[in-house]
Chain A
Amino acid sequence: MREGLSLVGVLVTLSLGFGLLSDAFLTSASLATIANQLPTALTLAVAMTLVLVAGGIDLSVGSVLAVSQGVLGVAMTQLGWNWPAAIAAGLTTGLLAGLVNGAIVVRWALPSFIVTLGMMEAARGGAYLVTGSRTQYIGTDIEWLADLSWLGLSAPFLAAVALVILAEVVLTRTVLGRQAIAIGTNEEAVRLAGVDTRRVKLTIFALSGLLAAVAGVMQVARLASADPNAGTGFELSAIAAAVIGGTRLMGGKGSAVNSSLGVVIMGVLATGLSQIGVQDPTKRLVTGGVIVLAVIADVYRQRWTAARRHQDLT
């Protein structure tokens, strides 16, 4: 909770800073534009948080996003499917990729890093094969999804916010979530306590694949096209956002809400820096610095909390 508040503090400071430096930044149009570009990144950060909390990692989310949207795009443009069927096909693709990841990780007790690295390559190849390496332009049949809006906020953004809240509830209030956190802390102890850890891990990877596909659908709705090159490097942005949000890379600790604040901070930084006229190389320099600073700050915050707890006890 306290962690979330400090992230909100960072966010407000950044926003006010950019607001002072640029007249265009703190306008409702500007803020809505930033928000409507975030749903894909938010959904991927949720997926990554779930996997990281359980002590795993999913490097394939960007490629799974691409193959899912490739299936969606080809279904609509070449096979003439209607949008519900095409979206269902895209989501199924993501779910299957996630299940394959999870099944391999638990069946052979392999590190998820290497399994999902393999899936990252395989799914990217699948995306090129499905689309024939061609961007599929879908147009109005899909972009109406991004046009639905409430107070200037698009339906995909609102859906992403709902997913963040849902994931937070799953992590903090359900058996699955608690078991995932416990597995991330000490898998062997959880297994000895009689929990089927393999089922939990399979579920988490399947969810991650499904969420990557959802993120793909959101991106297609925004861009009205399915691009086989989409999502390159998104897995690293999702990891960065989760880490800024205080998720521990070794597992056992993480919050979907805080990871999503990490996404928003990165989004505000990107748009704010470009609005005050900072060039791209400098933007990357600053973004990289922020990621590392966030991790260092997290170390101090933990020490401080531990020290206070110690004081309270004595």
Chain B
Amino acid sequence: MQSRWTRSRYVFLPALAALGLFSLGCTSSEPSSDDADPPVVSNDRPVVALVMKSLANEFFLTMEDGARAHQQTNPDRYELIAEGIKDELDVARQIDLMEQMVARGADVLVLAPADSQALVSAAARAVEAGVTVVNIDNRLDEDALAERGLDIPFVGPDNRGGARQAGEVLAGTLNPGDEVAIIEGAPGAYNALQRRLGFEDAMQAAGMAVVAAQSGYWEMDRANGVAAALLLAHPELTALLCANDSMALGAAAAVRAAGRSEDVAIVGFDNISAVQELVRNGSVLATVDQHADQIAVNGIEHALAILDGGETPADLQTEVTLIMADTMP
């Protein structure tokens, strides 16, 4: 019994020490906000809190890495706290994080909301507390913002334009009237809707017949099942337009399993590392890089500009790049 206690003490003591250090770290950032209130402190760096969605997602990991690299090259300009939630649907946890960040004395909140509506009130409370809030990646609902009289700038990629570009390249390889299908992201997500609209813009302009649009919930395995069913139901299908690359990977596997790699083209979105080989060998015709590493950085720069100028600048659209086999490094 005694030996078990001693053994467990070895585990618990360092854990307690770590907790203690952690809480010290939390409190040490609070005085900076108290100092920031009087206008005399010019050398005190503003605290920028970056609140993202799931860090289990490669996209947000790249975003965080980009922000950290930017902070390290600009250590005098601001202090960075980056946090993410467990999975992309954990809205309640993200609201908690927002409140914690305000309590920790953040001067700037850069937010990639997990939900366009549910995060509006948390953003409003942060604004009331005097925090400069900038919305990145997924746009907060404009009606909900207007209702509260909030003006929160949005910095993010042109999802619809990116999807349109991918769709236009695809249309160039098809004939008018060909049957195509769209595999959408999670229903209700802003970027899922924008990408679908972008694909539809391009397909309508080129005169293609969109025979189906079904959700693959951003997931590879589900998209694989959806694609397999679509291929069976539509023997004349010539293309699958997927709202992200994970789903494009799932669709590519389904097309190959059905033995229709020659007849069915695929486009994706995000340019994740796993899809690049498929783009190189032609299984995926095109994908769209929205420069995840730059999205948070742009948001931070935008927010710092607002802090300096004291005004609310307008929205900022970040660059997207079409990736195809011949444009790849």
Contacts and interface: CB of A to CB of B under 8 A. Distances in A.
B58 A133 contact: yes
Contacts of A137: 249, 273-278
Contacts of A271: 225, 229
A135 B256 contact: no
A187 B275 CA distance: 50
Interface stretch (A42-50, A98-106, A197-205, A226-234): A226-234
Interface in B71-114: 87
A24 B219 CA distance: 25
Contacts of B256: 143, 224
Interface string B227-238: 011001100000
Nearest to A30: B232
Interface string A107-139: 000000000000000001000100011111101
A68 interface: no
B121 interface: no
A10 interface: no
B285 interface: no
A70 to B, nearest CB: 12
Contacts of B56: 124, 128, 133, 228-229
B258 A33 contact: yes
Chain B: interface size category = 20 to 34
Given A135-B249, A137-B249, A223 B220 contact: yes
A250 interface: no
B216 to A, nearest CB: 10
A91 B149 CA distance: 56
A108 to B, nearest CB: 11
A132 B56 CA distance: 9
B57 interface: yes
B225 A270 contact: yes
B61 A280 contact: no
Given A134-B58, A222-B224, A227-B246, A274 B275 contact: no
Interface residues of A, number: 34
Interface in A169-199: none
A274 B231 CA distance: 12
Interface in B204-260: 214-215, 219-221, 224-226, 228-229, 232-233, 246, 249-250, 252-253, 256-258
A225 B229 contact: no
Contacts of B36: none
A219 interface: yes
A25 B222 CA distance: 19
A274 B256 CA distance: 21
A37 interface: yes
Contacts of A37: 224-225, 228
B224 to A, nearest CB: 6
B53 to A, nearest CB: 12
Contacts of B219: 229, 232
Interface string B267-294: 0000011111110000000000000000
10 contacts: A134-B58, A134-B272, A134-B273, A135-B58, A135-B246, A136-B274, A225-B253, A228-B56, A229-B57, A271-B229
Interface of A: 22, 24, 27, 29-30, 33, 36-37, 124, 128, 132-137, 139, 143, 146, 219, 222-225, 227-230, 232, 270-271, 274-275, 280
Given A36-B257, A137-B277, A227-B221, 14 more contacts: A24-B232, A33-B257, A128-B56, A133-B57, A134-B274, A135-B246, A143-B253, A222-B257, A223-B220, A223-B250, A224-B256, A225-B253, A227-B220, A229-B56
Interface of B: 55-58, 61, 87, 187, 214-215, 219-221, 224-226, 228-229, 232-233, 246, 249-250, 252-253, 256-258, 272-278
